[in-house]
Amino acid sequence: GAVVSQHPSRVICKSGTSVKIECRSLDFQATTMFWYRQFPKKSLMLMATSNEGSKATYEQGVEKDKFLINHASLTLSTLTVTSAHPEDSSFYICSAPRQGAGGYTFGSGTRLTVV
């Protein structure tokens, strides 16, 4: 149980276009999800907290107008990278609290490459 499905696993897009990444909780409801990005050989960096039915809260330095987060249902949170640029190329990962247990379960990640 407590599986988080993230899609797509990898995406290549042209500079200036937008890309949407989905994160679904398959067998549980998640009122809160977290979005991270990770650069090669670096640790995960928290970008924002996604809250079902309300606005996401962003970490300092993360542009909310560039990284749009929508958490419209209890099982789906989306991250849209708008007007993507090569420097947005990274590994994006979502997570949700494990149900009935401590810790968090993570999606498999999305490798975004902007060309």
Q: How far is the CB of 16 from other proteins (least distance, A)?
A: 26
Q: Which of 25, 78, 84, 109 binds other proteins (CB under 8 A)?
A: 109
- Single-letter amino acid, residue 31: T
Q: Is 31 in the site for other proteins (CB under 8 A)?
A: yes
Is position 46 an interface residue for other proteins (rule: CB under 8 A)?
yes
Measure the CA–CA gap between 83 and 98, rounded to whole angstroms: 33
Binding other proteins by CB under 8 A: which of 6, 77, 89, 90?
A: 6
Phi, psi of 20 (to 5 degrees): -110, 135
Residue 110, strand partner residues: 92
DSSP secondary structure, 12-33, as one string: EE-TT--EEEEEEESSS--SEE
Q: Tell me if 97 contacts other proteins by CB under 8 A.
A: yes
Binding site for other proteins (CB under 8 A): 4, 6, 31-32, 34, 36, 43-46, 49, 91, 93-95, 97-98, 101-109, 111
